[in-house]
């Protein structure tokens, strides 16, 4: 009869054996096919270990059946005369260490297969050696458990709904893992934090670091910043109101025109003044359009006046750390969807979230769907919720933060 053997590295081997063959003889055949020594093989059938003395027929192995072969790590080292504790540590770690040290061939193989263990064996810290042995034992147990589960799924009843759900989840998780590995290899920058766009400007002669945000409809300045720039005397309070969005901020009014200096040229600019101590100055789409600005990410510069002035975007080291909070707050302050009213004057400050809509972080169906997706990647629910709140509901940035943590 023919049996199919699947190895731990997903190699498929077909053997032509007698139904009354012993498991030990099957292992001998596999040693020829795989170069894995007989003593280092462990065979599983229907999730149960096959012992050397047992016959295939006695175990119920039939023609075209599948057998799983996994490496027996504990027997990979020549320690037949040494014993191990149930947790994988050596009963006599000193003797175990000396036994391996005395065999140069084994040490050479160990340096290739497990350099960390090899270094510990050459050292003098027996406690560290025991810790590594316990760790390898746990890894072996986890691997065996995973392979037994995979094997059980192969033999699962195709009409068992729960088994099919597990198979579907395993296939989906494998696809996610492969996609993540591909991203790490081909697009590693996707897991890094994106530095927002800041440039050096002067507002009414006062130097500032301006947050350039083409997704914000209006240019915004805080009350404290306007006061520092000597502009509060020009504040038109007829335009005051409340900005409602992800957050809420009081609009103190509007400064209709004041000079800003970009590079060596002065430009007229208007500002909406917010009572927001956490946000300083946001250069929005209204002024970007007015002054024909170009956000050139290839050369990493902001071009103003159709290209007559070019100023570089600041590097992360040049941006004060407090501005990280300012970025989050500016998106709250600039995401108003409700009218802003004061007396008989009605103004609409409809400023989308910076860089495009990022979604509402309120607990709702969309938010829960994002939480569920990230939890499927293996992260804890509380950590996922915190990450989504931190990045204002942006699923991709939250995932990058969690992977990086």
Grade residue 66 by pLDDT with cuts at 50, 70 and 90.
confident
CATH architecture of 198-347: Beta Barrel (2.40)
- Each residue of 228-247: pLDDT tens digit? 999 999 999 888 777 655 45
Q: Closest Cα to residue 261, out of 205, 199, 310, 197?
A: 205
pLDDT at 393 over 90: no
User: What is the model's pLDDT at position 337?
Assistant: 37
**Which segments of 175-219 are extended strands (E)?**
198-203, 206-212
Position 173 pLDDT exceeds 70: yes
User: Could you tell me which of 250, 286, 249 has the C-alpha nearest to residue 270?
Assistant: 286
- pLDDT category at 267 given cuts 50, 70, 90 is very high
| pLDDT tens-place string over residues 274-291 | 887 667 899 999 999 999
Quickly list H helices, 35-92: 56-59
Mean pLDDT score, 131-146: 84
Fold of 365-404: Helicase, Ruva Protein; domain 3 (1.10.8)
Q: Is 87 considered catalytic here?
A: no
Encode pLDDT of 313-335 as tens digits.
Answer: 998 888 877 775 545 545 444 44
Pick the residue with more confidence: 269 or 180? 269
pLDDT band at residue 200 using 50, 70 and 90 as cut-offs: very high
Q: What is the pLDDT of residue 325?
A: 52
Span 61-78, average pLDDT = 71
For residues 294-308, give the mean pLDDT.
Answer: 91
Q: What is the pLDDT of residue 18?
A: 87
CA 280, CA 290: separation in Å to the nearest integer?
21
| pLDDT at 340 (0 to 100) | 39
pLDDT above 60 (res 346): no
36 φ/ψ angles, rounded to the nearest 5 degrees: -90, 120
Question: For the chain, how many residues are written?
Answer: 405
Residue 235: its pLDDT value, please? 92
Catalytic residue among 63, 213, 296, 318: 213
Lowest mean pLDDT among 106-110, 117-121, 336-340: 336-340
Alpha helices, DSSP H only, in 63-218? 93-101, 104-113, 115-122, 126-154, 161-186
pLDDT, averaged across the chain: 78
Vertex 172: Cα angle to 170 and 173 (nearest 5):
65
| Separation CA 319–CA 99 (nearest Å) | 58
Tell me if 349 sits within 8 A of 251, measured CB to CB.
Answer: yes
DSSP class of residue 110 equals H
Closest by CA position to 351, among listed 249, 278, 268? 249
pLDDT band at 361 (very low <50, low <70, confident <90, very high): very low
β 265-274/41-45 pair status: unpaired
Write out pLDDT tens, residues 91-106.
888 888 888 888 877 7
Which residues make Cβ contacts (< 8 Å) with residue 251, sequence separation at least 6?
A: 239, 240, 241, 242, 243, 272, 273, 274, 275, 340, 349
Domain ranges in the chain are: 2-71, 198-347, 365-404
| 87 pLDDT more than 70 | yes
pLDDT over threshold 90, residue 198: yes
CATH class of domain segment(s) 2-71: alpha beta
Task: Provide the token pair at 379.
Answer: 């992260």
């Amino acid at each position: 009869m023919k049996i199919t053997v699947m190895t731990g590295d997903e190699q498929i081997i077909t053997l032509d054996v007698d139904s009354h063959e012993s498991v030990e003889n099957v292992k001998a055949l596999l040693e020829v096919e795989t170069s894995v020594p007989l003593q280092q093989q462990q065979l599983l059938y229907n999730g149960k270990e096959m012992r050397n003395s047992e016959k295939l027929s006695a175990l119920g192995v039939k023609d075209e059946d599948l057998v799983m072969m996994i490496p027996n790590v504990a027997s990979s080292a020549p320690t037949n005369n040494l014993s191990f504790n149930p947790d994988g540590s050596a009963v006599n770690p000193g003797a175990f260490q000396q036994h391996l040290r005395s065999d140069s061939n084994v040490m050479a193989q160990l340096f290739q297969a497990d350099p960390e263990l090899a270094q510990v064996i050459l050292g003098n810290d027996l406690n560290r050696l025991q810790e590594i042995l316990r760790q390898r034992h746990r890894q072996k147990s986890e691997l065996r458990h995973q392979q037994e589960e995979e094997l059980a799924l192969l033999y699962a009843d195709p009409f068992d709904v729960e088994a099919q759900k597990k198979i579907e989840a395993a296939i989906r998780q494998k696809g996610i893992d492969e996609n993540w590995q591909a991203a790490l290899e081909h697009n590693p920058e996707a897991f890094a934090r994106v530095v927002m766009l800041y440039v050096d400007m002067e507002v009414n002669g006062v130097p500032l670091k301006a947050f350039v945000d083409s997704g914000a409809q209006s240019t915004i300045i805080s009350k404290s910043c306007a006061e520092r720039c000597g502009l509060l005397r020009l504040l038109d309070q007829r335009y005051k109101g409340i900005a409602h969005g992800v957050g809420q901020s009081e609009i103190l009014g509007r400064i209709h025109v004041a000079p800003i200096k970009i590079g060596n040229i002065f430009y007229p600019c208007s500002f909406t003044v917010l009572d927001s101590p956490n946000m300083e100055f946001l250069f929005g789409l209204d002024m970007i359009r007015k002054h024909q600005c170009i956000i050139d990410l290839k050369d990493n510069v902001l071009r103003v006046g159709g290209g007559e002035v070019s100023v570089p975007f600041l590097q992360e080291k040049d941006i004060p750390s407090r501005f990280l909070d300012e970025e989050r707050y500016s998106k709250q302050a600039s995401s108003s969807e409700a009218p802003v009213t004061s007396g008989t004057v009605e103004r609409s400050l409809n400023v989308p979230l910076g860089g495009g809509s990022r979604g509402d972080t309120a607990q709702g169906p969309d938010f829960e769907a994002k939480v569920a997706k990230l939890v499927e990647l293996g992260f804890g629910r509380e950590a996922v919720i915190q990450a989504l709140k931190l990045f204002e509901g942006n699923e991709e940035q939250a995932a990058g933060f969690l992977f990086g943590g």
